[in-house]
Structure 1
Amino acid sequence: MDEGQRLDVYIANQLDHLSRSFIQKLIEQGNIQINGNRDIVKKYKVIENDEIEVEIPDPELLKVDAENIPIDIIYEDEDVVVVNKPQGMVVHPAPGNYKGTLVNALLYHCKNLSSINGVIRPGIVHRIDKDTSGLLMVAKNDKAHRSLAEQLKEHSINRIYIAMVHGNIKEERGTINAPIGRHPVDRMKMAVVHRNGKNAVTHFRVLERYGEYSLIEAKLETGRTHQIRVHMTYIHHPLVGDPIYGQKKEKFHTNGQMLHAQTIGFIHPTKGEYMEFHADIPDHFSKIIKTIENLYRHK
């Protein structure tokens, strides 16, 4: 036991699927016991031989409403939907954010979605961040969901992103093979960690160089949370506009990281054929590229 460590930090390190804020709420609600005692202060520090019991209450039953929100559907049949998600849209509801998500829109536009991920995430096989734009595949039934999920597990789905990063990358291409897990101090962030980290591999190649910036293509071999953002920061080339992992001062006004899921390819769950889809870089991304081009063209 890491004696002298704060209780919430200790539990978060042991149960890395729980955030520190969630653990603190469990302490407040009396759902964590130390040696049979539920009356614990948040800043309690663990002592050797402490017996810690964590009770996680059942989730509240929630109803997610269908909303008539316009979405860009690239492809749809009885099994799958491929959607081009705009920057700024959350993929699925979460505490404090139950409306305006892609799931709310899909529930309106599609008659059926798979039930494997429950009420909150129907049809959602994989996610991209709120401020990342681009392609997502969605399952309309459980059979399709299982097929697509298995392809993700086997790393056979083709996922290619476009990103603008800080710094002039000298190599034409490269591979980042570094495990990703919860940041050891800031539990809201991910990081390259060798203890309790999960295997993560990103392949990249440089498309264009613009002085202090590089436009890259990144291909995911694995799909960890914030993988491209964390990996590019790890090699000292953070994404332009990244509010979590990027530079504190940016020359350009952005509403988030310059990252776009441009290509997705998979074996169709029923037809057995390989299908691949592409989505052009959105306007907000193109404007940043043009601004950077103009800035360095005159230098």
Structure 2
Amino acid sequence: MFSLTFLYEDTKLVVVNKPSGLLSVPGKGEDNQDSVETRIRERYPECTKIPTVHRLDMDTSGLLVLALTKRAKRELSEQFQSREVSKRYIALIEGRIIEEGGTISLPLRMDLNNRPYSVIDPENGKPALTEWRNLGVEGANTRVEFILHTGRTHQLRLHARYGLGFPIVGDRLYGNGSLPGQMKLHAAYLRFVHPKTKEVMKFHSEPDF
């Protein structure tokens, strides 16, 4: 049973720290029903039917905000769609990177013939922009901070693999990972405007790697 940590709660929204290995939303089949969303609905029976505002891949850990009311969900969703939300990630990259940082711009699209993979497609892909900063070499790996400027499926995983030249440690789809819950990618910072109070909300979460 994966432990879900609650960092903030009020009548409009909650912010949680999702562990690696737990789904953001329920999947298909009885074995894939445990998720952040289902736990939120169990904890808050009167919350909106679908509280999920944004998602993290199952193997990604870190910060998620979920809405408890329809209005809060609408307003938070608008912030994500208009890219007003700030998100930063920490990752361990499977290789030694010399560069101090930069930007990666590689268009992405879903691979419809090979789900759940996404692919780089300069002609038909959607724009995907990632800013990155080298936090230091650790043995054979490099710790990197990613700043998302778009939110394409598997964006950081693909931008690491093909933009930096190395996969994220433990990545089962685009790297050498073999077990769930071991990918070293963590949503470490989240900033948004509270839909009711209009206060700027900032949350930090340190990775366990």
Residues 161 and 175 in structure 2, CA contact (< 8 A), matched pair in contact too: yes
Show structure 1 runs of 5+ residues with no match. Answer: 1-67, 116-121, 286-299
Q: What is the match of residue 247 of structure 1?
A: 176
2:93 partner letter:
V
Match of 2:185 among 240, 247, 259: 259
Please tell me whether Structure 1 or Structure 2 has the larger radius of gyration of its CA atoms.
1
Q: Quote the offset at 1:75 in angstroms.
A: 0.3
Greater relative contact order, per chain length (Cα 8 Å cut-off, separation 6+):
2
User: Could you say what secondary structure the match of 2:33 adopts?
Assistant: coil
TM-score when scaled to structure 1? 0.65
Q: Quote the offset at 1:138 in angstroms.
A: 0.2
Show structure 2 runs of 5+ residues with no match. Answer: none
Q: Quote the offset at 1:182 in angstroms.
A: 1.8
Matches within 5 A, 1:151-162: 151-162=79-90
Q: Quote the offset at 1:246 in angstroms.
A: 0.7
**Within 2, Cα distance between the matches of 1:216 and 1:108?**
36
Residues 69 and 100 in structure 1, CA contact (< 8 A), matched pair in contact too: no
Q: Quote the offset at 1:195 in angstroms.
A: 3.2
Q: Quote the offset at 1:131 in angstroms.
A: 1.1
1:175-223 per-position Cα deviation (integer Å, ceiling 9, x unaligned): 1111110237533311111233111111110111124311001111111
Q: Quote the offset at 1:113 in angstroms.
A: 2.7
| Number of residue pairs the alignment of both structures matches | 207
Higher share of residues assigned strand: 2
1:157-191 per-position Cα deviation (integer Å, ceiling 9, x unaligned): 11111100022222211111111102375333111
Residues 166 and 237 in structure 1, CA contact (< 8 A), matched pair in contact too: yes
**Within 2, Cα distance between the matches of 1:185 and 1:193?**
14
Matched, 1:166 2:91: no
Residues 2 and 19 in structure 2, CA contact (< 8 A), matched pair in contact too: no
Matches within 5 A, 1:204-219: 204-219=132-147
Q: What is the match of residue 112 of structure 1?
A: 46
Residues 132 and 145 in structure 2, CA contact (< 8 A), matched pair in contact too: yes
Residues 127 and 136 in structure 1, CA contact (< 8 A), matched pair in contact too: yes
Matches within 5 A, 1:174-213: 174-183=102-111, 186-213=114-141
1:155 partner letter:
R
1:257-297 per-position Cα deviation (integer Å, ceiling 9, x unaligned): 21011111101101111110111212xx2xxxxxxxxxxxx
TM-score when scaled to structure 2? 0.91
Q: What is the match of residue 166 of structure 2?
A: 237
User: Aligned pair in 2 of structure 1 residues 254, 106: CA closer, same or farther (>3 Å)?
Assistant: closer
1:56-108 per-position Cα deviation (integer Å, ceiling 9, x unaligned): xxxxxxxxxxxx98521100111111010111111111211443211221112
Matched, 1:85 2:18: yes
User: Could you say what secondary structure the match of 1:82 adopts?
Assistant: strand
1:112 partner letter:
E
Question: Is 99-108 or 131-140 further displaced after alignment?
Answer: 99-108
User: Could you say what secondary structure the match of 1:271 adopts?
Assistant: coil
**Within 2, Cα distance between the matches of 1:112 and 1:219?**
34
What percentage of residue pairs aligned between the two structures are identical? 37
Residues 104 and 129 in structure 2, CA contact (< 8 A), matched pair in contact too: yes
Residues 204 and 216 in structure 1, CA contact (< 8 A), matched pair in contact too: yes
